[in-house]
Amino acid sequence: MVVGDFPIELDTLVVGAGPGGYVAAIRAAQTGQNVTIVDKGNLGGVCLNVGCVPSKALIQAGHRFEHAKGAEDMGIKSENTTVDFSKVQEWKSSVVQKLTGGVEGLLKGNKVDIVKGEVYFVDKNTVRVMDEKNSQTYTFNNCIIATGSRPIELPDFKFSDRVIDSTGALALQEVPKKMVVIGGGYIGTELGTAYANFDTEVTILEGMKEILGGFEKQMSSLVKKRLKKKGVEIVTNAMAKGVEEKEDGVTVTYEVKGEEKTIDADYVLVTVGRRPNTDEIGLEELGLDMTDKGLINIDKQCRTSIDNIFAIGDIVEGPPLAHKASYEGKVAAEVIGGENAEIDYLGIPAVVFSDPELASVGYTEQEAKDAGYDVKASKFPFGANGRALSLNDSDGFLKLITRKEDDLVIGAQIAGPNASDMIAELGLAIEAGMTAEDLALTIHAHPTLGEVTMEAAEVAIGQPIHIVK
């Protein structure tokens, strides 16, 4: 190994080039900082390479295959529809390559220096970066840590060729005949849905009483209904006990109501959460204030207990969402650049690319009440929307949460087609301090799914047009 004799001095160092790190690096450069970003893997992090983007590509391919099999109620029939899964994987990889290549171009275009290697902190102003051949010491004035997270591995389900995490599920070279999914959260539900659309026989084992526990039951029940229609078996209050691996599959043992059961499958996918990547990078040398779960404590400016070190994304409190990491990255970069920025999470949406899609922003009805607000919840069904009916996808609703005293929009939940896109308008309404009347008076094109937002706002102000009050 070659070791650099003299430390290289840096202005701002960003550790990790995922959606938090690379965005932070670009924004820091835009504020006039000289920025260096370091990552041991591919640019784009988990999200672009083995997470958000490839999973949505696989989900989309699954929808295409499902639709290609026909829609008899529309008079469309199809026979002998097949899928070449190697081609699906090839297409998915091409999407990833376009985006990761784009990240490199953006970083270079903003004059950010890119360094490959693993980072180890020596003290609050020094890191050592190592690759297979070299080791170089760097000193920095400010640092943003954005090292992301990794899937949690269960003691009785060690990852292998047949016991896989989300990365493994995205890299399968064939469509499994049977798959067991341990964990009915957003990752397990999304990937379980994708493979069910490819005709895999999927069983979801969830330890709680409902899947998608972070969403209201009236939303998750719509997803359960669709999953069952696809042939997915959902077992709740189930405790996964162990797995027996064979050359061509697995046998999973689980317990429900005190009774042990087994199920055979080609693969078992474990999606029970993610663990922050804060170990093995020398943070113990710094003495950062951290939680017992390995998360770094930060203030409203993403600053850690050490003034010149900031932390963002999956390694701090809050949901492990790429757009949360990007947002925090901008805040941290702007603070280092001398701007008066701070985090405000109320307008950060949560989205599940299930079937139908789920999305939420701001307060739910119960959260608002728990926070002391006197609120009303106003719902409008997709079944009364012309565009949803013409898409033959009219299950679901939009619920608007407003304060009774002034109709201020403080939350919204959507279960239905294109919920992931529609939630942005509601996030803007919350950020801009808009009222239900503001939304109702905004002219929405017809016929579009976006009209559901306007219609729900009209319900909120007591002037609904397309449902009877």
132, HSE (Cβ side, Cα atoms, 13 Å): 1
Supply the Cα-derived Rg of the chain in whole angstroms. Answer: 24
- Under 8 Å between Cβ of 300 and 311: no
- Under 8 Å between Cβ of 423 and 411: no
One digit per residue, the tens of pLDDT, for the chain of length 469 reads 345 568 999 999 999 999 999 999 999 999 999 999 999 999 999 999 999 999 999 999 999 999 999 888 899 999 999 999 999 999 999 999 999 999 999 999 999 999 999 999 999 999 999 998 899 999 999 999 999 999 999 999 999 999 999 999 999 999 999 999 999 999 999 999 999 999 999 999 999 999 999 999 999 999 999 999 999 999 999 999 999 999 999 999 999 999 999 999 999 999 999 999 999 999 988 999 999 999 999 999 999 999 999 999 999 999 999 999 999 999 999 999 999 999 999 999 999 999 999 999 999 999 999 999 999 999 999 999 999 999 999 999 999 999 999 999 999 999 999 999 999 999 999 999 999 999 999 999 999 999 999 999 999 999 999 999 7
Q: Which amino acid is at 318?
A: G
With tokens 């306007």, the residue in question is 454
Confidence at residue 133, expressed as pLDDT on a 0 to 100 scale: 87
Helices (H), 163-249: 166-170, 186-197, 217-229
35, HSE (Cβ side, Cα atoms, 13 Å): 29
Confidence at residue 3, expressed as pLDDT on a 0 to 100 scale: 52
Whole-number Å distance between alpha carbons of 264 and 244:
9
Concatenating the DSSP letter of every residue in 312-381 gives -GGGSSS---HHHHHHHHHHHHHHHTT------GGG--EEE--SS-EEEEE--HHHHHHTT--EEEEEEE
Confidence at residue 1, expressed as pLDDT on a 0 to 100 scale: 39
Q: Is the pTM of this model over 0.85?
A: yes
Run of H or E including 460: helix 451-460
Q: Which two tokens stand for residue 84?
A: 């070449």
Catalytic annotation, residues: 446
Q: How far is CA 429 from CA 404, 424, 432, 447, 449, in A?
A: 16, 9, 5, 21, 17
- Under 8 Å between Cβ of 408 and 402: yes
Length of the chain: 469
- Under 8 Å between Cβ of 354 and 366: no
Confidence at residue 5, expressed as pLDDT on a 0 to 100 scale: 60
Whole-number Å distance between alpha carbons of 88 and 93:
9
Whole-number Å distance between alpha carbons of 48 and 250:
30
Q: Which of 16, 17, 35, 21 is nearest to 100 (CA)?
A: 17
Q: What phi-psi label fits residue 396: left (phi over 0), alpha (psi between -120 and 50 degrees) or beta?
A: left
Q: Which two tokens stand for residue 133?
A: 């051949």
Confidence at residue 71, expressed as pLDDT on a 0 to 100 scale: 87
User: Within its chain, how far is the Cα of 229 from the centroid?
Assistant: 25
- Under 8 Å between Cβ of 379 and 459: yes
With tokens 């599940």, the residue in question is 352
Whole-number Å distance between alpha carbons of 269 and 62:
18
Other CB atoms within a 10 A radius of the CB of residue 208 amount to: 13
